[in-house]
Amino acid sequence: MIYKITNAALILMAATSGAMAQTDPLRFDPDDFTRQTITMPNGESVAYKAYEGIPYVKNIEDSTYQTLNIYVPETLADITRVPILMRTYVGGYMASTAKSPSPSDATGRALREGYVVCIPGSRGSNSTIDRDGKTVYTGIAPNGLLDLKAAVRYLRYNDALIPGESELIFTDGTSAGGAMSSLLGATGNAIEYEPYLKTMGAADTRDDVFAAICYCPITDLNHADMEYEWLYGCTNTGVRHLSEEQITISNELSAKCPSYINSLELKDKSGNIITADIYKEYLKTFLIASAHRALQEGCEIPDSIGFAFYQDKSGPMGAPGNIPRQGMRHRMDDNRDAPSFGPGNAPRFNKTSDFVSGLDLDKYLTYVATTTPLKTPPAFDQMGVLIPTPSPENKVFGNTYGDAANFTNFSLQHRLDNTSATLDAEMVERVALMNPMNFIGNDKASVAPNWYIRHGAKDRDTSFLVPVNLATKLMNADKNVDFALPWNRPHSGDYNLDDLFNWIKTTLSE
């Protein structure tokens, strides 16, 4: 039997479809925007449509933060598929509202390039609501990450309605935001997060991303204390001026690091295992590469901070005729990028330039420690060990009542109140969900294929081991990784945007 669809039936179907669209709280409305402009540093004005204050979950707990903004340039990039830059402004693991694009960072530059920009808000350690007359902390780990994953899902869910390509999401963040970007890149579609996202009413779709841009990511938190002391222990009795009690804690933490390094089974480009015995030599290659590029770009580096030099007179470094160079001056305001150091990318040399022939790492680390005072041990899980003050990380791993908490067994068992407890199962799970290293190279998640990781060569907010381990593990998992320790750069992000956007364009063309 053939059924004939009448005009009345068609009208009813259209009305029903429209009603469903209107009642879907996660449906993007392409007509609800305002027109705005942004003025770039060069004076150029970029016009765009602003879609703001959009909830990205059905079950909103904290309306101050659980919204996102989307910005669409009036003139989209003239390319086949337009990417979406998703920029988080998380800092210190605190909450972040959905912000407007800035001409001084990657959001403004992305609009100028004709890309779509998404800026989500997310809960954090300081976000609270009033519930039945009581203050409830809404942003304890992993809630901030869950919010950002829900924002990714919103973009995918509305792919047909939002300009830009949800298969080409580039996440971007700095510091704790860099950690969030690394987590978004490493934990795509991981089943461990699914119950949380379902409870929140996130869109029932994927949350993997195309690329993660990570500036100085403060991550691998449950190992960061031992990595910090293992690297910077050489400064304990010098510029760091630690007390005897602090040195004892530092030494105990440092002693735990080699076994962790060995457990990672990281490999260099030649396939050699990077054990703790040779790790510092591996680290030095990235610092030397950073210094090479700085020299090529005109920066003068003194011998006093640990580098040794040869000036090329007749051929490549090491050839007869190379002579030592002494007494170089150093411009302290230089903030130059190192070259890409991913697979297949080697430092660029110029036959007429100076070469770094070696590095005294302890001397260089002493230089870093003199520019900005180092953190005291433990650097991250500090609460209750030698001081009562909680760190930002202690706060984000706290509870909904606002009580901070230890998140490593070491600190829990070295508290001043002499606790002998161990982390409970819930805390172990929460810590694991906040560490991207747990999801790379083991098929537990859809890891982003492309990574841009930068950590300043004088950034001491976490150990160099944290970004180096992250980048190396990703390289070992055959990801496209552009990693460098930019010369003389402190803790900061969204710098050298020409380099970043050239990388984005190259990634899009591959």
Tallying the residues shown for the chain, one arrives at: 510
Residue where the block lists tokens 């920009």: 117
> Do 247 and 236 contact (CB within 8 A), yes or no?
yes
Per-residue b or e along 239-274, where b marks 16 or more CB atoms closer than 10 Å to that residue's CB: bbebeeebbebbeebbeebeebbeebebeeeeeeeb
Residue where the block lists tokens 């990714």: 152
> Do 287 and 359 contact (CB within 8 A), yes or no?
yes
Long-range contacts of 367-370 (CB under 8 A, 24+ apart): 367/304, 367/305, 367/306, 367/458, 368/458, 368/460, 369/232, 369/235, 369/238, 369/239, 369/240, 369/460, 370/239
Please state, in angstroms and rounded to a whole number, the distance separating the CA atoms of residues 321 and 327: 19
Please state, in angstroms and rounded to a whole number, the distance separating the CA atoms of residues 458 and 368: 5
Question: For residue 363, which phi and psi values (nearest 5 degrees)?
Answer: -65, -40
> Do 433 and 141 contact (CB within 8 A), yes or no?
yes
Please state, in angstroms and rounded to a whole number, the distance separating the CA atoms of residues 110 and 77: 10
Q: What is the 3-state composition of the chain as percent helix, strand, coil, each rounded to the nearest 5? A: 35, 15, 50
The pLDDT, as a whole number, for residue 316 is: 40
> Do 383 and 389 contact (CB within 8 A), yes or no?
yes
> Do 83 and 107 contact (CB within 8 A), yes or no?
no
> Among residues 99, 89, 95, 88, which one has the least CA distance to residue 129?
95
Task: Give the Å distances, CA to CA, from 473 to 221, 222, 257, 455, 456.
Answer: 16, 17, 17, 16, 19
The pLDDT, as a whole number, for residue 312 is: 55
> Among residues 220, 101, 98, which one has the least CA distance to residue 148?
98
The pLDDT, as a whole number, for residue 341 is: 41
Task: Give the Å distances, CA to CA, from 432 to 187, 200, 221, 429, 439.
Answer: 11, 20, 10, 5, 9
- Angle ∠(314,315,317) on CA atoms, nearest 5: 120
Please state, in angstroms and rounded to a whole number, the distance separating the CA atoms of residues 414 and 382: 10
> Do 210 and 427 contact (CB within 8 A), yes or no?
no
With 0-12 / 13-18 / 19 or more C-beta atoms within 10 angstroms meaning exposed / middle / buried, residue 10 is: exposed
Q: Which residues pair with 481 in a beta bridge?
A: 451
Peptide bond into 377 cis (omega under 30): no
Amino acid at position 357, single letter: S
The pLDDT, as a whole number, for residue 444 is: 95
Task: Give the Å distances, CA to CA, from 71 to 253, 483, 505.
Answer: 46, 29, 20
* Helix or strand run (H / E) with residue 507: helix 497-509
- Angle ∠(392,396,402) on CA atoms, nearest 5: 100
What does DSSP assign to residue 30? T
Strands 169-174 and 84-87 turn out to be: parallel
> Do 448 and 188 contact (CB within 8 A), yes or no?
yes
Per-residue b or e along 339-364, where b marks 16 or more CB atoms closer than 10 Å to that residue's CB: bbbbeeeebeeeeeebbbbebebeeb
The pLDDT, as a whole number, for residue 441 is: 95
Mean pLDDT per block of 10 residues along the chain (510 residues) reads 38 42 88 98 97 98 98 95 97 98 98 98 98 96 98 98 98 98 98 98 98 98 98 95 96 98 97 97 96 88 90 43 38 46 39 72 97 97 97 98 97 90 96 98 97 98 98 98 97 97 96
Residue where the block lists tokens 């297949």: 344
Per-residue b or e along 142-180, where b marks 16 or more CB atoms closer than 10 Å to that residue's CB: bbbbbbbbbbbbbbbbbeeebebbbebbbbbbbbbbbbb
Name, in order, each residue with C-beta under 8 angstroms of 60's C-beta and a sequence gap of 6 or more: 66
User: Alpha helices, DSSP H only, in 115-188?
Assistant: 143-157, 176-186
Question: For residue 505, which phi and psi values (nearest 5 degrees)?
Answer: -65, -40
> Do 465 and 283 contact (CB within 8 A), yes or no?
yes
> Do 42 and 65 contact (CB within 8 A), yes or no?
no
